[in-house]
């Protein structure tokens, strides 16, 4: 752990992780009362991965994520109100209420989803990076995906082309050990994701995904290599989701003591202790942070509640299917 951390930077990282945590706790509550419907996958426990990685990116870089992407969206600077309104299905949502929790998009922040298909974001990221390379636009495309996605053909194909064409992609595997109820070792003979990447010609590194500073440092190293024209890199962030796969999952496949053991490495608690230990975080800082985060989450909910639904006349807008001749 670094000997001294800049106070503003440290508090900024912690605030982002606390915002994601409180935002999602509220989303879970709103789901149980039917305000948010459809699918909802919580990122609780994995916050250090999105927050740490985003530190290495500039506004010119691209981000592609999965359906478990509230954390990435907030860490990328999307307004909590536009994300919450999207989950409500309201017209003011970032995808005009048409996508919901799994399809958050914000082109102005170069946030290209939100993909419900496992591994679906990987070829999209390679395409974005190819477009940048062809245009001579110097940018990194960061692509988040889960351990389950390494089983998809799209993983091998995307890493292969990115390596072959030396495209500027930072592949970020969020290895939380499970793909729904299936543990990595139950679907992969080779469970070492870094070795898999290296087999495709993409150098990789594993990092403690519960340690935000370790993720930030690894992401900066990897992004620097990618930015310097060295081709793609992969980071495997070892992490854990504290909640079930989605709100529908009874979570019967994980042992209670495994979950409890990982919770002792809660990224928010660990980093709070680091900042306290270094004397840059006092009791009043923490209380003030919680108050301001609570106000931001409350404002997001109020915005989502008050926002209009899309008018019925617009229902077929952006639906491209031609009428069927009968
Ligand atoms: C191609 C495809 N197959 C199956 C599914 C159903 N599915 C949704 S999430 C998921 C698990 C993916 O796990 P992982 O990639 O590890 O991400 P995590 O949910 O752990 O963040 C599966 C199998 C899907 N959405 N897409
Ligand atoms: Mg997983």
Distance CA 214, CA 217 (A): 5
Domains annotated on the chain, with CATH? 7-309 (3.40.50.970)
Indicate whether 305 pLDDT > 90.
yes
What residues does the ion ligand 2 have nearby, CB within 5 Å?
146-147, 176, 179
Q: Compute the average pLDDT of residues 254-270.
A: 98
Distance of CA 86 to the CA centre of its chain: 16
| 221-253 tens-digit pLDDT | 999 999 999 999 999 999 999 999 999 999 999
* Ligand 2 center–CA 180 separation, angstroms: 7
Q: Answer yes or no: pTM beyond 0.75.
A: yes
Kindly report whether the peptide bond that precedes residue 114 is cis, defined as omega within 30 degrees of 0. Answer: yes
Pocket residues: Cβ below 6 A from ligand 1: 66, 68, 116-118, 146-149, 174, 176, 178-180, 245
Q: Is pLDDT at 155 greater than 70 in this prediction?
A: yes
> 265: helix, coil or strand?
coil
Cα 146 to averaged position of ligand 2 atoms, centre (Å): 5
Spatial contact of 48 and 239, defined as CB atoms under 8 Å apart: yes
Atom of ligand 1 nearest to the CA of 41: 19
Which pLDDT belongs to residue 268?
Answer: 98
Q: How far is the CA of 16 from the centre of ligand 2 (A)?
A: 22
Bridge partner residues of 284 (DSSP): none
Q: Is 55 in contact with 17 (CB distance < 8 Å)? A: no
322 — pLDDT class (breaks 50, 70, 90): confident
pLDDT at residue 1 greater than cutoff 60: no
Poorest-pLDDT segment among 101-105, 310-314, 321-325:
321-325
pLDDT digits (tens, 9 = 90+) for 90-121: 999 999 999 999 999 999 999 999 999 999 99
CA of 130 from ligand 1 middle (Å) equals: 26
d(CA 326, CA 310): 30
The ligand 1 atom at the shortest distance from the C-alpha of residue 145 is 15
From the list 102, 98, 45, 96, the residue with the least C-alpha distance to 73 is 102
């Amino acid at each position: 752990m670094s000997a001294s951390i800049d106070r503003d930077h440290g508090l900024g990282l912690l605030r982002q992780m606390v915002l994601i945590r409180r935002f999602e706790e509220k989303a879970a509550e709103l789901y149980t009362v039917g305000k948010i419907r459809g699918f909802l996958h919580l990122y609780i426990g994995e916050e250090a991965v999105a927050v740490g990685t985003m530190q290495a990116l500039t506004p010119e870089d691209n981000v592609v994520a999965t359906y478990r992407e509230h954390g990435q969206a907030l860490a990328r600077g999307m307004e909590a109100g536009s994300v919450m309104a999207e989950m409500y299905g309201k017209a003011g949502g970032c995808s005009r209420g048409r996508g919901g929790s799994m399809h958050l998009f914000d082109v102005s922040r170069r946030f290209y989803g939100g993909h419900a298909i496992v591994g679906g974001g990987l070829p999209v990221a390679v395409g974005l990076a190819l477009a940048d390379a062809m245009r001579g636009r110097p940018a990194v495309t960061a692509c988040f995906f889960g351990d389950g996605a390494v089983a998809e053909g799209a993983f091998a194909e995307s890493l292969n082309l990115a390596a072959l064409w030396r495209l500027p992609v930072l592949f970020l595997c969020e290895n939380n050990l499970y793909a729904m109820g299936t543990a990595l070792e139950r679907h992969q003979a080779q469970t070492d994701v870094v070795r898999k990447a290296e087999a495709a010609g993409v150098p990789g590194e594993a990092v403690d995904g519960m340690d935000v500073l370790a993720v930030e440092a690894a992401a900066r190293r990897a992004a620097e290599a990618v930015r310097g024209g060295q081709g793609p890199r992969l980071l495997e962030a070892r992490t854990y989701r504290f909640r079930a796969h989605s709100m529908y999952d009874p979570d019967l496949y994980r042992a209670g003591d495994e979950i409890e053991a990982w919770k002792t490495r809660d990224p928010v608690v660990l980093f709070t202790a680091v900042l306290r230990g270094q004397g840059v975080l006092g009791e009043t800082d923490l209380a003030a942070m919680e108050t301001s985060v609570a106000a931001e989450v409350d404002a997001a909910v109020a915005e989502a509640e008050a926002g209009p639904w899309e008018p019925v006349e617009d229902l077929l807008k952006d639906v491209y299917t031609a009428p069927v001749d009968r």
